[in-house]
Amino acid sequence: MNLPKYFEDPKTLHLGTMPYRAYYIPFEADKSAFEILETAREDSKKVTMLSGDWKFHYYNNRFEVDEAFIRTEFEAKNFDTIPVPSCLQILGYERNHYTNVNYPFPYDPPYMPDENPCGAYIKKFQMTKEQVDKKNFLNFEGVDSCFYVWVNGRFVGYSQVSHSTSEFDITDFLMAGENTLAVLVLKWCDGSYLEDQDKFRFSGIFRDVYIVTRSKEHIRDFFAKSEVSSDCKQAKILVDIEYFKNLVPTTCLLLEADDKTGSFSEDGKKLLGQAKGNILETKQVSDGHIEFEIDHPKLWNAENPVLYTLLLKTEDEIIVQRVALRRVEIIDQVIYINKVAIKIKGVNRHDSDPYTGAAINQKQALKDFELMKQHNVNGIRTSHYPNSPWFLQMCDEIGFYVISESDIESHGSDAFYHAGHQSTFGDLVQMDIYHEAICDRVESNVRHNKNCGSIIFWSLGNESGYSKAFEDAARWIKSYDNTRLTHYESSIHETGGHKNDTSMLDVYSKMYDSIEKVDEYLNNKDNKKPYVLCEFIHAMGNGPGDIEDYFEKIYKDDRFIGGFVWEWCDHAVYMGKTIEGKDKFYYGGDFGEYPHDGNFCVDGLVFPDRRVGTGLLEYKNVIRPVRAAIQDLASGEIYLENKLDFTNLKDYLIVSYDVICNGDTVESGVIEELDIPAKSGKSINLNFTVPSDGICYLNLNYILKKDRPFLAKGHILGFDQLLMKEGRFRADKDKDNSVTIAGGDIQIEEDERAVTLTGSNFRYVYNKLTGTFDSLVHNQVSYLEKPMEFNIFRAPTDNDRNIRAEWEKAGYDKKIVRVYHTKITSGEETEITSNLAIAAIQMQHIIDIDVIWSIKKNGNIDVKVNAARNTVMPYLPRFGLRMFMPKVFGKVQYFGYGPYESYVDKHRCTYMGKFEQRVSDMYEDYIKPQENSSHYGCHYLNVSDERNNSFEVTGEEDFSFNVSEYTQEELTMKMHNFELQKSDYTVVCLDYKNSGIGSNSCGPELIKKYRLDEEKIAFKWSLSFQG
């Protein structure tokens, strides 16, 4: 097909399109505001929805396209029928392709390869004579990457910017009766250089398509600004209206705000439950500008998203706009909403679904919103492009602080070959040919979404470097909208000698700053801007593990507004089920694509299908609405601090509490009334009694007091666990120690390789070449299926991806044990002492170990370890023992952090307690297998079979353990969870310590205090057998 090469011309961004305007849907004039709110947009008589079944044909390039497809008489016999919106890759027309930084085409801006796949779309639709006699505007809300449009065989126009609405006036192209819409979508265009986001590279018409029918003269655009006085006691709504051609008689009505937050229909398309608001004021528009003044306004915030309702009414149509009154400002480096210093507990969110790709509808978005609210999330960064316009309106209603990001990312310009380490990060955006495109994309974001009050930041884009184009765009935003703040992290990069002017940017934004970098910024008095981490605590795989450390800093300093976790959901594509019924989710490289970045897209707080992971549970409890501390243990007084910014706890939650001793509840109560204002604290006397024996905790649950949108009464918003009395857990405090040590003398047989110890009820075989046991048989029950071993490795987590190379270089995964000396001492107990070292081929010692095994006459064993780590080597993943028990040992009881997986830096979603679980349930099913389901801070472990034969472990100090159906070798070797083969054993890892999780897959190195890097190691465990 002979196409004009607009797709390679940065000066032709759009052809035949209307100027950008705010998103709205007009309805027929006889409807009330609340009827409109409870009506899906496609049910407006002003809208002809074209989403649905379309005819489609895929071509490898534009040269193959049959030019006749644009004609009304064309018979699409060889065309398929596909749904729109959709992604062509998900439908199987192309292989899926995930890449983060690298462009999937040669870097040759603005040109594209001739082999540039195309999709030809055809839609037949009906229009009445009444409709075609009016103005008709064709809207595409999202097409990747660019597209040409024909109506009834005539060329209408061209547009690009994938995540932006393109609107065409097709009035002169329509006829009464059947009409034909033909669209040719190209996979790549010159704009693709600006759309190098970290995601699957989907293409096609992936958002809704519809026609809006209007009168010849009508409201074209409007901007409803909120202006709140400095004392927040008065407010104005300033409405500027732009008309298509001439001013139309317009009545503006303002309805009172409703304190009740609305809920949504199941499909997310209708706003339900709004009370019938009274009219506050009615005004006639005379010059395109009106103002409403409001005394003692009800102000919007993410905790209480109160909205006023504005109606713009002409003779034959009505537009309803929900308006958030809020004041956003910076005072002394602190961001305030309505004179309150806020904290953002946010997430970065892509449009991503394993079944539909980037084609996301309201129902799917509603599920994300529900999960976010249930887990205390209050902020969303639309990474890295604007969302569908209805998405942002839902954010207004539900209550989120939003960074609306422009559809710009070009970090691939820093990935191509060059000598040395010269940075070319901003190479593309420095080009004059892209100046207009950058400004256009920023303007599109702002003009389309300007009436969404949840947006408190306009972001210029992501990871593209900086240039005059961004400076001009920021300057334009400041002149156009003074009610919000500007954001752009990539302004920290200077390229090509350009001296960055960041005066138009309101915040200092960074990604993945370490705790040290956070302190460095906050302690530097020369820094004058608020501080935000637009990406932090990378949530890839098992993680993130350092959330609490960051929020200690966030809560400590008002200049540190908070941050947005990278990222909300795992990106993956659903590929059916295995024979065993296991879901298969594919990531980068699984489709044979090049280049790709593997599973770097599987980096969310929730799994692809929105199963909640422990990372989200951890985040939820770190950002819980209340924090507690014991103030006076003797009198039973605690201190509760309200961490919310606007909400008094009085009508929000109740607190239930339990006094727990040795894992058992000994006292309970409920605090029904908590009159604690936002950002305040209060002492509460619970009059509890501290038990005299055992380890004791006070557990506090923060429980929602009444139903709220997405949250049912009784929902647990978070919890605290406060240590009341230190001690060691005893599984049976009444156990008679005199019984446990009974037994006959131990018979010893020794040869060059082994020591066999036989007692009245046991037979153990100790391996002198490994320093551990090959066999443990007690009361005729075997507890080892294969030899025990010292263990220093773990299946690397995604957050271990950087340190993993050092671990493997040092040979941690290929260890060899050498025992130098073994000594046996008999007496009341039999002691076996071995001196050994762990090393690897071609490597020096990793760790030197002195171990003493004390075998009692009843078969119980004490193990005492003193070890010296070689500090030249990297820190250890873990250190301890690994046992391979018979598969029948499938029950686990423990006292430690549970019931979810827990690590030294990732245990805030767990609590110290007594737990009982099946081994089959002790597994976190990460898409890419890795270390999981360890338990930190343990006092006691019992692994048993159905006949109550059991193996018990206690320690003088806390230890970690992992009981699994999988070996660490299997978890390391397999690339997908559905490929895993269960072990023939129950695998038990007893760890002195397990290094923390961190977020180093993209974030900073693991914080030093969470590394197993001490030089001297000492611990003692008691192992016993029952049954």
Catalytic residues: 463, 535
Total count of residues recorded for the chain: 1027
SS3 of 480-508: the string is HCCCCEEECHHHHCCCCCCCCCCCCCCCE
Planar angle of CA 359, 365, 368, nearest 5 degrees: 125
CA-based R_g, the chain, Å? 32
Q: How far is CA 170 from CA 32, 123, 173, 301, in A?
A: 29, 15, 5, 40
Please spell the DSSP secondary structure of 34-53, one letter per residue. HHHHTS-GGGSTTEEE--EE
Backbone angles phi, psi at 598, to 5 degrees: 55, -135
Please spell the DSSP secondary structure of 317-345, one letter per residue. EEEEEEE----EEEETTEEEETTEE--EE
> Which DSSP state fits 826?
-
Helix (H, G, I), strand (E, B) or coil at 61: coil
Strand order in the sheet with 135-140: 47-49, 209-214, 135-140, 166-169
Planar angle of CA 168, 171, 176, nearest 5 degrees: 130
SS3 of 643-710: the string is CCCCCCHHHCEEEEEEEEECCEEEEEEEECCCCCCCCCEEEEECCCCCCCCCCEEEEEEEEECCCECC
Q: Could you tell me if residue 138 is left (phi over 0), alpha (psi between -120 and 50 degrees) or otherwise beta?
A: beta
Q: Please, are residues 384 and 535 in contact by the beta-carbon 8 Å criterion? A: no
- Assigned token pair, 558: 């008002």
Please spell the DSSP secondary structure of 367-436, one letter per residue. HHHHHHHHTT--EEE-TTSPPPHHHHHHHHHHT-EEEEE-S-B-GGGGSS--STT---TTTTTTSGGGHH
Backbone angles phi, psi at 935, to 5 degrees: -130, 125
- Assigned token pair, 251: 């009545």
Instruction: Specify the amino acid at residue 98.
Output: Y
- Assigned token pair, 575: 């590929």
How many CA atoms within 13 Å lie on the side-chain side of 310?
27
Start-end of H helices in 922-1010: 968-973
Q: Please, are residues 319 and 312 in contact by the beta-carbon 8 Å criterion? A: yes
Q: Please, are residues 952 and 941 in contact by the beta-carbon 8 Å criterion? A: yes
**Burial of 823 (C-beta count, 10 Å sphere; 0-12/13-18/19+):** exposed
